[in-house]
Amino acid sequence: MATIESLLRAAALPGSPSARLDAEWLLAAALGKPASYLRTWPERDVPADSEARFVADLARRRQGEPVAYILGRQGFWSLDIEVAPQTLIPRPDTELLVEAALQLLPVTPAEVLDLGTGSGAIALALAHERLAWRVTGVDRVGEAIALAARNAQRLRLDNAAFYESQWFSELAGKRFALIVSNPPYIPMGDPHLEQGDLRFEPSSALVAGPDGLDDIRQIIASAPLHLLNNGWLLLEHGYDQALAVRELLVERGFINVESRRDLGGHERISLGRLP
């Protein structure tokens, strides 16, 4: 019978910058234990059924499939989010969007909208931190809405609700104090689409026209019709798109326009206020 350490030593994952960590997550899931268990008891034998699951999951990872899709979950903010191939995998850079949103409004009741919610990660993080807010998440993909609703129910966040809508299409007459979005922003033909986890994620949630700004243009153009006076719009975008996004915000009449940098030093989000 194999031990924890022997399986991890044999778990070569060529090309993965986090090979050991990936293997640990997969083995911990196969054992039904936290990752800390592996480091505390490396000499423990692994049951045959757990070893079989680990070997199968490892084979999927060697083909490049993201660990989050294999396990069906991903940590985001302080939450454990269920994910599926119909939605993007929540990433640490997007937590900057949550941080900025929490700084802009008081803790008093407010209506907040998350456009293109996917798994619901952004909406649920905001709902978790601001129980007085009513957070609405919309997505054009029905499977994503069902997934986000399951996450809300499992996390017991009654102040978040999810609806099917192509951006603002089903939101006529509704206005919000804050709108956030991590929309598609990768240009068509970008070589990164053929690399790493992006190969497995839905292209419709990644690609937005020749320069990657098609959806951002649409959101900025329509957002004033759905914002209250002094309402804020926050957008995640590509590392080299901040200037273009700021210009679009200014042209549409937003004020207090600025961009903020992620942990890598890139301008990752831009925001503006409707007068």
Residues 128 and 33 in one domain: no
Amino acid of residue 188: M
Residues 18 and 112 in one domain: no
Based on the structure, what is the number of domains in the chain?
2
Q: C-alpha 252: how far from its chain's center?
A: 27
Of all residues in the chain, what percent are helix, strand and coil, respectively (each to 5)?
Answer: 40, 20, 35
Question: Can you give the residue range of the structural domain that contains 215?
Answer: 77-273
Residues 31 and 89 in one domain: no
pTM: 0.88
- Lookup: tokens for 143: 């499977």
The secondary structure of 231-252 as a DSSP string is EEEEEE--TT-HHHHHHHHHHT
Give the CATH number of the domain where residue 217 resides: 3.40.50.150
Residues 138 and 263 in one domain: yes
Taking residue 102's Cβ as centre, other Cβ atoms within 10 Å add up to 15
- Local confidence pLDDT in tens for the 275 residues of the chain: 798 888 888 886 665 667 788 889 899 999 998 888 988 988 889 999 999 999 999 999 988 889 999 999 999 999 999 999 889 899 889 999 999 999 999 999 999 999 999 999 999 999 999 999 999 999 999 999 999 999 999 999 999 999 999 999 999 999 999 999 999 888 877 676 666 767 766 767 777 788 889 999 999 999 999 999 999 999 999 999 999 999 999 999 999 999 999 988 999 999 999 99
69 in any annotated domain: no
Q: Could you give phi then psi for residue 205, rounded to 5 degrees?
A: -95, 0
The secondary structure of 161-191 as a DSSP string is EEEE-STTTT-TT--EEEEEE----BPTT-G
